[in-house]
């Protein structure tokens, strides 16, 4: 069975600083990998996804993630955070048809200091 680990429960970053959120997965085949952001009162929004091809994936809102098979990782990065990036971030691995059966990591809450 697949699993996802997000080692950091909370991360505090200053506005304008860079951000990296860690994600490690366990899956027997080539994974479908996702990053979602959850803001209060809003549904999860897909930031980016990796299915195949280029291991550096560009997403929305200036986020990118890099798939490293050797490390079973899919870390999310943003060069310069904005106060509006404060939210909960979830990494997920997908199984089944087109990776639709999602298993989520525990989430990382990002706080942005002015």
Partner 1 sequence: GAVVSQHPSRVICKSGTSVKIECRSLDFQATTMFWYRQFPKQSLMLMATSNEGSKATYEQGVEKDKFLINHASLTLSTLTVTSAHPEDSSFYICSARDGNYNEQFFGPGTRLTVL
Q: Please tell me the distance from the alpha carbon of residue 36 to that of residue 6, in angstroms, as a whole number.
A: 13
Residue 63 makes contact with partner 1 by CB under 8 A: no
> Which 8-state DSSP code applies to residue 31?
P
List the one residue from 27, 36, 63, 74 that touches partner 1 (CB under 8 A): 36
List the one residue out of 95, 92, 98, 77 whose CA is nearest residue 35.
Answer: 92
Minimum CB distance to partner 1 smaller for 68 or for 101: 101
Phi, psi of 11 (to 5 degrees): -140, 130
Residue 102 makes contact with partner 1 by CB under 8 A: yes
Residue 44 makes contact with partner 1 by CB under 8 A: yes
List the one residue from 14, 18, 26, 45 that touches partner 1 (CB under 8 A): 45
Residue 46 makes contact with partner 1 by CB under 8 A: yes
Residue 106 makes contact with partner 1 by CB under 8 A: yes
Beta-carbon contacts of 95 under 8 Å, excluding residues fewer than 6 positions away, are: 2, 27, 32, 101, 103
Q: Nearest distance from residue 37's CB to partner 1, in Å? A: 11
């Amino acid at each position: 069975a697949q699993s996802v680990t997000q080692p950091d429960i909370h991360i505090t970053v200053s506005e304008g600083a860079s951000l990296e959120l860690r994600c490690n997965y366990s899956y027997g085949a080539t994974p479908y990998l996702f990053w979602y952001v959850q803001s209060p009162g809003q549904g999860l929004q897909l930031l980016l996804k990796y299915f195949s091809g280029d291991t550096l994936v560009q997403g929305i809102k200036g986020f990118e993630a890099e798939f490293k098979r050797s490390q079973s990782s899919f870390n999310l990065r943003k060069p310069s955070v904005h106060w509006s990036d404060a939210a909960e971030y979830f990494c997920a691995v997908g199984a089944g048809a087109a990776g639709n059966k999602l298993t989520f990591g525990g989430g990382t809450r990002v706080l942005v200091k002015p």
